Structure 1
Amino acid sequence: MAALERRAREDLAAAYRLIAHFGLDDGIDTHISARVPGTRDQFLINPYGLLFREITASSLVKIDTEGRIVEPTNHVVNPAGFVIHSAIHQARHDAECVAHTHTVAGVAVASLACGLQPFNQWALQFYRRIAYHAFEGIAVNLAERERLVADLGAHTAMILRNHGLLTCGGSIAEAVILMLNLDRACRVQLAIQATGERAWPLSDAVCELTAGQYKEWERTSHAASDDPYRREWNAHLRRLAPTTASYLD
């Protein structure tokens, strides 16, 4: 179990570095959390005050779903991060990782009444497969957890209205890659809308077909690997290897 936790810590630290690499971080705010292997009530999260590019495997803080730090550390945890992430880890035992961002594109689309539109292939991955949660202020109210979970349902992606994006997955790789794709979908949508031109329409049938193709890829890839996202994840890790192997510390 110690070896599994070490791997989870290394992958989670890499996730923070990759989110920073792609410019999806927001100073010291937002979070990516990962369940501690072999547990249902403990997860790893970033120490509050460190930039994402500073996160290392050993600096991650282990807390339980009640917000208690369960291992000695010199760091503290952001209460807003605890509320959102603990809600999902507590209710969705299939959610090994939860990623939340405040990207410019993500917040912009989250603030549009139309939400995410099926304008591009990345967006079609989430066609009729994305949840929405109304803004209730900064997420420090424990009572919001119930509504977050209810709105998320069985989805792996959610738009937090006027706030940002959230993804979850059966692995750190899945949650982070879904986040990269969701943010790209938002960026393309804003680029299209900025032209003032009418977007080329896609039929419901084509949109549903494409979303189904994403799920079929996941299903068939899963038959050959315990994590269908691992191949792409390993490629992303090579982005870090030349200059930022320090995330393993």
Structure 2
Amino acid sequence: MTLSVQNQVSSEEWQTRIDLAACYRIVAHYGWDDLVFTHISARVPGPEHHFLINPYGLMFDEITASNLVKVDLQGKIVMDTEFNINPAGFTIHSAVHEAREDAKCVMHLHTTQGVAVSVLRNGLEAYSQQSLFALASMAYHDYEGVALNPDEKTRLVADLADKSFMILRNHGLLTCGESIADTFLFMFLLQRSCEIQLQAQATGQPLIRIADPILQGIQAQAKQVTRSAGGALAWPGILRKLDRINPGYDQ
């Protein structure tokens, strides 16, 4: 008899799988997915530097704890599965996981609003309170085509440096954090900032930018601000919501 995935992994990995599957489901709920073409990855607890990523071909609302694919930093699948992974997704996520010990989770999305802001010359502007959290730890990376070139990894991680938020020009959004909950909240703030900015700009009215001293005050405390963003506070409520509207992520 074939062992279930839960019986093949540690309790810590199983909990990571549950949280990551839930993250995929809540992204789908908000309409931030792009069919099967973006990714959220999470490092497996332990010394092996393995991480979990979505099986290529499944929609985000189909992701479960069991069907997540475990790979190493070279993209080799290290646990039996019927699925494969997207090589472009692997390039971006493995680069961040390899370079940043604190990047336990990496989320990359192609939301309409995120891509729209990514093509603006000035990128994200300090137009909302939400934007201040993102701008406190913001990086940019220029577009180099579909992310299949391993050489791009060096440039991407150099641009990201120690930041938690990144706008990939002409491409989309990326956040990373020390937990899945934090990484999701960072993306929530970044996505909401983009939505607010585009709606404000669409009015054609003069816009009020938040004063530089306020922005600089937050930027000076970037690590404290982003680490106290409150992901762990919101996450249990997100799981309860999924249990009501889209159960099964924990299977």
Q: Bin the TM-score by the shorter chain.
A: over 0.9
TM-score when normalising by structure 2: 0.92
Aligned residue-pair number: 243
Q: CA 1:185 to 1:40, structure 2 compared with 1: closer, same or farther past 3 Å?
A: farther
Partner of 1:229: 231
Is the Cα–Cα contact under 8 Å of residues 31 and 100 in structure 1 kept in the other structure? yes
| CA apart distance, 1:231 | 1.4
1:217/1:152 CA distance change after superposition, 3 Å: closer
In structure 2, stretches of 5+ residues that fail to align are 1-8
CA deviation string 1:138-196 (max 9, x = no partner): 00111111111000000011000000000000000011110011000001000011011
Q: Which residues in structure 2 correspond to 1:1-249 (within 5 Å)? A: 2-210=10-218, 216=224, 228-249=230-251
For residues 168 and 62 of structure 2, the distance between their equivalents in structure 1, rounded to whole angstroms, comes to: 26
TM-score by length of structure 1 reads: 0.93
Q: Do the aligned partners of 1:12 and 1:32 also contact (CA within 8 Å) in 2?
A: yes
Matched residues, percent identical? 50
Does the 8 Å contact 2:25/2:249 carry over to 1? Answer: yes
What is the distance in 1 between the residues matched to 2:220 and 2:238? 25
CA drift of 1:39 comes to: 2.9
Q: Write out the 4+ residue segments of structure 1 that deviate beyond 6 Å after TM superposition.
A: none
Cα RMSD of the aligned pairs, angstroms, is 1.7
Q: 1:129 to 1:67 in 2, by over 3 A?
A: same
Instruction: Report if aligned partners of 1:46, 1:61 keep a CA contact under 8 Å in 2.
Output: yes
Cα pair 1:24 1:102 within 8 Å, conserved: yes
Aligned equivalent of 1:225: none
Please say if residues 126 and 211 of structure 1, whose CA atoms lie closer than 8 Å, have aligned partners that are also in contact. Answer: no
Specify the SS of the correspondent of 1:125. Answer: helix
Quote how far apart the aligned CAs of 1:82 are: 0.3
Deviation at 1:86, TM superposition (A): 0.3
2: CA distance, partners of 1:238 / 1:217:
26
Distance 1:189 1:148, change over 3 A: same
Q: What is the CA–CA distance in structure 2 between the aligned matches of 1:89 and 1:230, rounded to whole Å? A: 21
Measure, in 1, the Cα distance between the counterparts of 2:238 and 2:117. 26
